[in-house]
Amino acid sequence: MTSEQAKQRIEELTKQIEEHNYRYYQLAQPTISDYQFDMLLEELIKLENEFPQFLSPHSPSQRVGGTITKEFKTVKHKYPMLSLANTYSEEELKEFDDRVKKALNESYEYVCELKYDGVAIGLTYVNGKLKQAVTRGDGEKGDDVTTNVKTIKSIPLKLRGNNYPEEFEIRGEIFMPRKVFDEINKEREEIGDAPLANPRNAAAGTLKMQDSSIVAKRKLDCYLYFVLGENLPHQTHYENLNAAKEWGFKVPESVSKVNSIEEVFQFIKSWEQKRFTLPFDTDGVVLKINSYEQQRILGFTAKSPRWAIAYKYKAAQATTVLESISYQVGRTGAITPVANLKPVLLAGTIVKRASLHNADIIEKLDIRIGDTVFVEKGGEIIPKITGVDISKRDLFSQKTEFISHCPECNTELIRPEGLALHFCPNENGCPPQIKGKMVHFTSRKAMAIESLGEETIEQLFDAGLIHNIADIYDLKKEQLLPLERMAEKSAQNLIDGIEQSKKVPFERVLFAIGIRHIGETTAKKLAYYFKNIDALKSASKEQLLEVGDIGEIIAQSITDYFKNPQNVEIIERLKKAGLQFELSEEQLANTTDKLKGLTFVISGVFNKISRDDLKKLIEQNGGKNTGSISGKTSYLVAGENMGPEKLKKAQALGVKIISEDQFFELIQ
């Protein structure tokens, strides 16, 4: 066979195999036998071995695997890969719908989808070819698992047709079918290996295997359910999913577009039992707003979109015996009671412990040592006790009394008014709180001192070298070297990591110091509003309440933090160590007080700036963003196709309506 003939035959075989793959995995309508398919693939592999110059990285032969990946590269997501808010209650779904209705004030559609119990994946395609596959990771960054994903036959390496965007991302869930899972476990048991815990864990573990040929043998599958990009063919989620089907993606047939929350409930009920007939695991239903524009209006919290929610079906239950209750102390001093259970098999894993959350839950369940209890896994992950079998209770059982003193430092516990939790107030003298604060302080989203993890902090604390977060910056290399597992290089890495952390910007330092109730988003808002720690420290409660999204509880928490002289001393020591306690010159160059005291609502699509960047500009110039129009609204910034109800309400209330150009004039 000549080189030209080989090239032509490889192209023919590639097209045939891709077509058969599509018919088998996407349409479930195979037209040839498995044997015939294998013969075509074998011929292709043989030709590519003989004529390697014609081997394409997108060839169907690459699905067989064989590449070894020693380390999975970390990749930043182009679009944050947030998780969804969860609920098990139809009442909470109704509340979600009420929030959507209030925020949009116009008609809207929902798209209902099954929630697949697997591993979230983001696939990027450029010019119709798979470029990259990245796991969720922490939502901002994930692992590049492209080599392994290429072995999954339901994921197209090249797209069909030509009406897809030049570059886009499609997200979905990689899962292990139950039949494959059962076969693997049967084989493992036969050779004496421990069985895999459950299909989800098996899929996650498989996806991170170094040898892609083993991944190929695990027969993972994938459903795709969300398209992202700049030039998508449609302005709605449902229509883009249908387009993705035409491009060759395996999109679930169970997706349904509905017009009301009542129809959502019908969808949920219709799948409650039917889902058990599917060949893979599902644990609920995902609800999404169909219109991208309405999704943009609803926006995001720090952790999840406001335009989507997951309803989870109640998990399978087991009964076991409560042997004892222990109490854990968190970094904020919160006391969490934990049930220690007689081991029981539940949803594929052995359960020995379950959180009892707080004193109210113990009271509500009237749970007692020796009780036979009902256990389930919330979302089939976290075990929880849902009830007590009173009929099996010992006649002489004693009512459970919540502890009155901290199990670690013996300080008397407090329970703030309006909160369900008990707290140990000894925040600077209680070991778990001290260590917990340091673990939070050094974490990736805070000061990002990679070589100073939980285990090392424990070691340094036990050695008496650190007692609070400020002590970290007093550490010397010679103090570290005598410690176990602390060689020259690791000690130097730790010192270098601590020094490097001094460059972390103010908003992350503010998050890192661990003021109760201050998350990443709130820390950023406070940093840009007050610009430095001294202004924040001297702010009154009334001034704090002027900041967007700061309520009574957060304002009180901030004032309480700075009233504590030990906290003030720690801040001063960190300042002297060189940490950033004010916005940088570069950040300050982009901030003003021009919009201070003004409240904005934005609506519609803008030509010169994205909605998110517009919101950022408002905050950087001292203004406040809100989602709905009221008498307190200063301006409605109106883009194209803005909501007619918002316009009507703004006119009725006499709110000034401005264009994006007029907004820029305000801040120039």
**What stretch of H or E contains 614?**
helix 611-620
Residue 379: per-residue pLDDT: 43
**The pLDDT of residue 47 is above 90:** no
Is 192 a residue whose pLDDT tops 60? no
Query: Given the structure tokens 């897809």, which residue do they identify?
Result: 164
Diameter over CA atoms, the chain: 90
Supply the pLDDT for residue 311. Answer: 94
User: Each residue of 306-339: pLDDT tens digit?
Assistant: 999 999 887 667 899 999 999 999 888 889 899 9
Q: What integer pLDDT is reported at residue 481 of this predicted model?
A: 92
605-608: long-range pairs with CB below 8 Å, 24+:
605/293, 605/296, 605/639, 605/640, 605/641, 606/639, 606/640, 606/660, 607/639, 607/640, 607/660, 608/660, 608/661, 608/664
Place of tokens 């500009």: 617
Q: How confident is the model at residue 380 (pLDDT cuts 50, 70, 90)?
A: very low
The angle subtended at Cα 425 by Cα 420 and Cα 430, nearest 5°, is 120
Does this model's pTM top 0.75? My answer is no
- The pLDDT of residue 190 is 47
> What DSSP string describes 504-545?
S-HHHHHHHTT-TT--HHHHHHHHHHH-BHHHHHT--HHHHH
> Which residues contact residue 235 at a Cβ distance below 8 angstroms, ignoring those fewer than 6 apart?
291, 292, 293
The per-residue pLDDT for 115 is 92
Q: What are the φ and ψ backbone dihedral angles of 155, each rounded to 5 degrees?
A: -100, 115
Confidence class for position 69, pLDDT limits 50, 70, 90: low
pLDDT of 188 reads 63
Judge whether 200 and 152 are in contact, CB under 8 Å: no
How far apart are alpha carbons 610 and 296 in whole angstroms? 10
Q: What does each C-alpha distance from 276 to 90, 225, 432 come to in angstroms?
A: 21, 20, 43
pLDDT tens figures, 486-526: 889 999 999 999 999 999 999 999 999 999 888 887 888 89
Q: Are 136 and 82 in contact (CB under 8 A)?
A: no
Antiparallel, parallel or unpaired: β 317-329 and 372-378: antiparallel
Q: What is the distance between the alpha carbons of residues 549 and 552, in angstroms, rounded to a whole number?
A: 10
Task: List the beta bridge partners of residue 143.
Answer: 74
DSSP per-residue codes, 423-461: B---TTT-HHHHHHHHHHHHSTTTT--TT--HHHHHHHH
Tell me the domains of the chain and their CATH numbers.
3-64 (1.10.287.610), 86-259+275-308 (3.30.470.30), 317-390 (2.40.50.140), 431-503 (1.10.150.20), 506-589 (1.10.150.20), 599-667 (3.40.50.10190)
Percent above pLDDT 70 for the chain? 94
Q: Report whether 376 contacts 88 (CB < 8 A).
A: no
Q: Would you call 311 helix, strand, or coil by DSSP? A: strand
d(CA 129, CA 145) in angstroms, rounded, equals 16
According to the model, what pLDDT value does residue 382 have? 61
Quick one: angle between helices 90-104 and 261-272, nearest 10?
Answer: 150
Q: How confident is the model at residue 191 (pLDDT cuts 50, 70, 90)?
A: very low
Residue 64 — φ and ψ, nearest 5°?
-75, -25
Q: What is the pLDDT of residue 521?
A: 75
- Of the chain, the percentage scoring pLDDT greater than 90 comes to 49
Whether 115 sits among the annotated catalytic residues: the reply is: yes
Lowest mean per-residue pLDDT among 96-100, 194-198, 626-630? 194-198
> Which amino acid, one-letter code, is at 282?
T
- pLDDT-derived band at 391 (thresholds 50, 70, 90) equals very high
Share the mean pLDDT of the chain.
Answer: 87
The CA distance from 365 to 387, in Å, is 6
Least confident among 27-36, 228-237, 428-437, 644-653: 27-36
Q: How many CB atoms sit inside 10 A of residue 120's CB?
A: 19
**Residue that wins the pLDDT comparison between 352 and 378:** 352
Instruction: Please say whether the beta carbons of 67 and 151 come within 8 A.
Output: no
pLDDT at 224: 95
SS3 5: helix
Provide the β-strand partners of residue 412. 405
- Specify the long-range contacts of residues 146-149, CB closer than 8 Å, at least 24 apart: 147/65, 147/67, 147/69, 147/212, 148/65, 148/69, 148/206, 148/207, 148/208, 148/209, 148/212, 148/215, 149/121, 149/123, 149/174, 149/207
What's the count of helices (H) and strands (E) in the chain, helices before strands?
A: 25, 20
Could you say which of 115, 435, 524, 646 is catalytic? 115
Dihedral over alpha carbons 414, 416, 422, 423 (to 10 degrees): -60
Looking at residue 132, its pLDDT comes to 94
Residue 98 has pLDDT above 50, yes or no: yes
617: DSSP letter: H
Q: Give the other-Cβ count within 10 Å of 240's Cβ.
A: 22
pLDDT band at residue 6, thresholds of 50, 70 and 90? confident
Q: 642: burial class by Cβ within 10 Å (0-12, 13-18, 19+)?
A: buried
Q: Which uninterrupted H or E stretch holds 34?
A: helix 34-50
Q: Which residue has the higher pLDDT, 604 or 442?
A: 442
The one-letter amino acid code at 549 reads D
Whether residue 292 contacts residue 128, with contact meaning beta carbons closer than 8 Å, is answered with no
**What's the rounded Cα separation, in Å, for the pair 280 and 430?**
47
Among 119-133, 261-275, 290-304, 603-617, whose mean pLDDT is lowest? 603-617
Residue spans of beta strands (DSSP E) within 464-622:
599-603
pLDDT (mean) for 558-587? 93
